[in-house]
A and B are shown apart, each in its own frame.
Chain A
């Protein structure tokens, strides 16, 4: 028993050492690394937030915004806006700036491209007997980006209707690939396909897919999906007909409200279901995203 205890403690210590030394930096494997996973997006932050604890009267000040693209796709047509500063106290030279392209994570930009934007302003005077004035404001970022959903092993199997789950033969073994509902942990953008259901229809020789999408932005890249455009889709290299559920076939762009960020895309195609095989499914999306963060300046004497 003592030996077992000793061995167990030793195992725990070794595993702890292993975990501590593991920092996720697989520098030797970048070439194989798939950036198109997870839910990261454009991250917003202020570089000099500590400075705002004291902005003196009639003095210039600067708000430095840091943008860091952690998505696997480029961010385009970006705009940052400062909202809510009372210009009786804080006068900004400009409350809005644009940025063109921030590259996403790739082999050439493994950590994503980042950029700083400077907003300059000047404080005025406090009113009589005012010791300080707190100015709350919102920093808003709007940008456009894309997302590509790829499932390289989409199963097409005419035997799905047999005993038990799809693909199982009478003898109990599998014939071909298995049709199942699949879950995904992101495609490297805050807009993500979370689940896909496949519904073959033998009578129509057609295969139907239901893709569930949601806004999975987190932390510094958490924001709101404003608009989504359904792009091209293909199954096995051939065009896949898709539409957004609840809308007409030709309506490829929808606006989303803050309280309802999820939606469903329905895709279908006539296929030859005489044999079972796996093929790649690709669906492209474009979206507009908005991030808002609250900060404050304090004007003091």
Chain B
């Protein structure tokens, strides 16, 4: 029974299960059908969606364009105008081009940069106008009036014309004020800002410095010229919150504040005297541009701010020295480049050193654009010089030591060079036998140079052939017949005939002695030079001929060798009564000046006699209210010792 029930149960259950399973299968089938139906639908949908998608994409692009436009509008509403951006980038580009394309290349009268400045001037007005919410047109009134006054009326200062222009300006302002109910006053005042920047860009201040001789420090010079003014103006026209980035906004605001201080400093720093002009108060744009270019040429090529930045990283503990050296190097590089040297050239460094030496010795020759080329002579070794020699212990040293002796003799004087050499080891000195150009006939150890360039091969052999160890080989050339000429400028006036001495002295100073070393004698960078000066005081170049003067002179050793003899000197003051005691004229000329015989000392200075000038040439007296300007010369003939020491080694083998 149970089994039957079980079987029945099982059968019952089985049927139920089978029915369940069938139902599930049918359900699954139905679902599958559904799915396939929906898949089909989806396929259709996908296709249409694709096309819809494309459609959407295209319309999306169009919307994006609208979005960009509307976001721009938002920005415009916020104040970041296209004009501001044009000013910033255009101003930087204009400035960079000015630095690298000097305006002298272009038409100096009215260069392209003036045209660009005018265009930026107009954009500046527009940028400023966009920041105002109302009465924007009023900004154009002062700009237009200024434009007409400056370009059409040539910036005339004629009172009647000025009054006329002011009346027109006032009338237009009144019209605007009436219609705007007073709201146009502020825009009109703002319209003067583009005018200010126009001048700052074209270099008004450098021109005032050049024309009116205003005192400006080198720092101020750099600040005026190395500043992209229109770019700064563009930054100033940006709103307080120019972007969503707070950091950027902060930086922009800092730059704006610094820019304002910068402008105030630039404008207030030089004191402007009250000087007026009949025709024009202000120079023409072409003149401003030229003055700026002239001023830029006098400045070191490297921007001071850039030098400062580099030195912060290179030598933070000594920034000032570092900056000074960088500025000096940039000037020297330009000089050597202009002379035709290339930076990769091996002689470039030599040129830099020579120019640095000239700069440091203060040979600023006023009135002479190029210095006289100095006389030079030196021993030159090549890379083949045998600094280390070998010999067998049983053999003599066979090495000969040869160097080149080069002479630059621009004045083509007759220079005689007598050579000698020696080998020194501690206190032991081994004399050497010298040959000049492979000759040593009749003990001829000298050679004469008369041409502009000359050279000789000087060889030296030690007399002791058994040398070993380290030695110092010394070559010496005793040069005789060297001549040098120094020049000095002086101005003369009659003190008892001039009504306003102070004014006359100022005029002379400004015209002839504006340089800091213009009162000193100038000479080429020869081995030695004669320095001389005379005047009511020795260093005062403006001489009152009604008062005695003092003449003082000396011979200075300007090279690294030794003055062996002062053969003669001659200070050419023809017509001047200059004498020491008992009528001796040894302050004006002399021969064979006594020098110490101590071979160890290298004389720096040889003082010559000083004397009093009691009378002047007749052409320099009785000058009334006028003055005379004259140049004077002094000649020096001397002997000089040029030396070169070379360390060498002789190794004994076996």
* Contact indicator A19/B373 (Cβ below 8 Å): no
Contacts of B496 in A (CB 8 A): none
**Are A20 and B148 within 8 A (Cβ)?**
yes
With a cutoff of 8 Å between Cβ atoms, the chain B residues found around residue A81 in the complex are: 626
Choose, from B499-507, B548-556, B561-569, the stretch at the interface. B499-507
Measured CA separation A140–B626 after assembly (Å): 9
Q: Is A132 an interface residue (CB 8 A)?
A: yes
Chain A hits for B500, CB < 8 A: 257-258
**Size bin of chain B's contact surface:** 35 or more
Chain B 392-410, CB within 8 Å of chain A: the 1/0 string? Answer: 0000000000000000001
- With A4-B179, A136-B511 already in contact, the answer to whether A9 and B630 are too (CB < 8 A) is no
Name the B residues within 8 Å of A8 (CB-CB).
Answer: 137, 175-176, 179
- Residues of the A chain whose Cβ atoms lie less than 8 Å from the Cβ of B105: none
Taken together as a complex, chains A and B put the C-alpha atoms of A32 and B89 apart, in Å, by: 56
A98 to chain B, nearest CB (A): 14
Q: How far is the CA of A11 from the CA of B176 in the complex (A)?
A: 11
CA distance A262 to B148 in the complex (A): 35
The answer on a CB contact under 8 Å between A83 and B499 is no
Stretch at the interface among B286-294, B320-328, B362-370, B461-469: B362-370
Q: Is B370 a contact partner of A128 (Cβ separation < 8 A)?
A: no
Interface residue tally of chain A, by bracket?
A: 35 or more
Among B144, B172, B278, B510, the residue within 8 A (CB) of A40 is B278
Question: What is the 8 Å Cβ interface bit string for chain B, positions 134-178, against chain A (1 contact, 0 not)?
Answer: 000100110010001000110001111100110010011001100
Q: Whole-angstrom distance from the CB of B358 to the nearest CB of chain A?
A: 15
Q: How far apart sit A5 and B487, CA to CA, in the bound complex (Å)?
A: 72
A19 with B367, Cβ < 8 A, contacts A88-B630, A226-B499, A258-B502 known: no
Within the assembled complex, what's the spacing in Å between the Cα atoms of A182 and B626? Answer: 40
B144 touches A128 (CB 8 A): no
A-chain residues with CB within 8 Å of residue B165 when the two chains form the complex? 19
Chain A contact residues, majority secondary structure: mixed
Contact (Cβ within 8 A) A133 B368: yes
Least Cβ distance of B494 to chain A in Å?
A: 13
Check if B384 is an interface residue, CB within 8 A of chain A: no
From the candidates B141, B277, B508, B626, name the one contacting A219 in the complex (CB within 8 A).
B277
- Contacts A136-B511, A258-B500 given; indicate if A5 touches B157 (C-beta within 8 A): no
Cα of A87 to Cα of B632 in the assembled complex, Å: 11
CA distance A15 to B165 in the complex (A): 10
Say yes or no for A29: interface residue by CB 8 A criterion: no
Residue on B nearest A142 in the bound complex, by CB: B625
Chain B residues within an 8 Å CB radius of A128: 372, 410-411, 485
Tell me how far the C-beta of A263 lies from the nearest C-beta in chain B, rounded to whole angstroms.
Answer: 16
Q: Is the CB of B152 within 8 A of A20?
A: yes
Q: How far is the CB of B407 from chain A (nearest CB, A)?
A: 16
Chain A residue contacts of B373, Cβ below 8 A: 129
A25 to chain B, nearest CB (A): 12
Mark interface residues in A18-53 (1 if CB within 8 Å of B CB, else 0).
011010100000000000001110010000000000
- Whether A84 contacts B152 in the complex (CB less than 8 A), given A15-B168, A132-B369, comes out as no
Contact flags (1/0) for B332-375 with A, using CB distance below 8 Å? 00000000000000000000000000000000000111101100
Cβ B368 vs Cβ A88 within 8 A: no
Chain A neighbourhood of B524, CB < 8 A: 129
Q: Contact check: which of B158, B369, B629 meets A84 at CB < 8 Å?
A: B629
Assess the A138–B369 pair: CB atoms within 8 A: no
The distance in angstroms between the C-alpha atoms of A220 and B275, with both chains bound, is 12
The answer to whether A138 and B511 have CB atoms under 8 Å apart is: yes
Tell me how far the C-beta of A134 lies from the nearest C-beta in chain B, rounded to whole angstroms: 5
Question: Complex Cα distance A4/B489, Å?
Answer: 70
**A19, A43, A131, A218: which contacts B157 (Cβ < 8 A)?**
A218
B residues in contact with A20, CB < 8 Å: 148, 152
Residue among B140, B508, B511 facing the most chain A CB atoms (10 A cut-off)? B511
What chain B residues lie within 8 Å of A22 (beta carbons)?
164
CB-based contact B278/A220 at 8 Å: yes
A110 on the B face (CB < 8 A): no
In whole angstroms, how far apart are the Cα atoms of A136 and B368 in the complex?
11
Is A86 located at the chain interface by the 8 A CB criterion?
Answer: yes
Q: In the complex, which residues of chain B have a beta carbon less than 8 angstroms from the beta carbon of A219?
A: 276-280
A134 contacts B277, C-beta separation under 8 Å: no
Cβ–Cβ < 8 Å partners of A226 in chain B: 499
A292 to B506 alpha-carbon distance, docked (Å):
12
Q: Does B218 contact A (CB under 8 A)?
A: no
From the candidates A5, A16, A134, A292, name the one contacting B144 in the complex (CB within 8 A). A16
Residues of B within 8 Å of A133, CB to CB, are: 367-368
Closest partner residue, chain B, to A131 (CB atom): B370
**Is B644 located at the chain interface by the 8 A CB criterion?**
no
* A84→B627 CA distance, assembly (Å): 7
Residue A12 CB within 8 A of the other chain: yes
For B171, list chain A residues within 8 Å (CB). 15
Q: Is the CB of B630 within 8 A of A129?
A: no
How distant is A149 from chain B, measured CB to nearest CB, in Å?
Answer: 17
Chain A residues near B148 (CB-CB < 8 A): 16, 19-20
CB distance from A228 to the nearest CB of B (A): 14
Contact partners of A127 in chain B: CB under 8 A: 372, 485, 487, 633
Q: Which residues of A contact B160 (CB under 8 A)?
A: 24
> Quick one: given A19-B165, A128-B411, are A86 and B370 in contact (CB under 8 Å)?
no
Q: Mark interface residues in B103-134 (1 if CB within 8 Å of A CB, else 0).
A: 00000000000000000000000000000000
- A131–B160 CA distance with the chains assembled, in angstroms: 51
The answer to whether A224 touches B485, judged by C-beta atoms less than 8 angstroms apart, is: no
Asked if A115 is an interface residue, CB under 8 A from chain B, the answer is no
B426 contacts the other chain (CB 8 A): no
Q: How far is the CA of A9 from the CA of B140 in the complex (A)?
A: 10
- List residues of chain A with CB within 8 A of the CB of B372: 127-130
CA distance A115 to B137 in the complex (A): 50
Query: Which A residues from 44 to 100 make CB contacts under 8 A with B?
Result: 70, 81, 83-89
Q: Which 8 A-B pairs have the closest CB atoms?
A: A218-B278, A219-B278, A129-B372, A219-B277, A258-B503, A131-B370, A84-B629, A218-B276
Other contacts beyond A5-B137, A129-B410: 14, CB < 8 A: A11-B175, A12-B141, A38-B158, A84-B491, A86-B489, A128-B410, A131-B369, A132-B370, A133-B368, A136-B512, A138-B511, A218-B277, A221-B278, A257-B503
Which residues from chain B sit less than 8 Å from chain A, CB to CB? 137, 140-141, 144, 148, 152-153, 157-161, 164-165, 168, 171-172, 175-176, 179, 275-280, 367-370, 372-373, 410-411, 485, 487, 489, 491, 499-500, 502-503, 507-508, 510-512, 524, 626-631, 633
12 interchain pairs (CB within 8 A)?
Answer: A8-B137, A8-B176, A9-B137, A12-B144, A84-B512, A88-B630, A127-B485, A219-B276, A224-B503, A258-B502, A258-B503, A294-B510
Residues of chain A whose beta carbon lies under 8 Å from any beta carbon of chain B: 4-5, 8-9, 11-12, 15-16, 19-20, 22, 24, 38-40, 43, 70, 81, 83-89, 127-138, 140, 185, 218-222, 224, 226, 255, 257-258, 292, 294
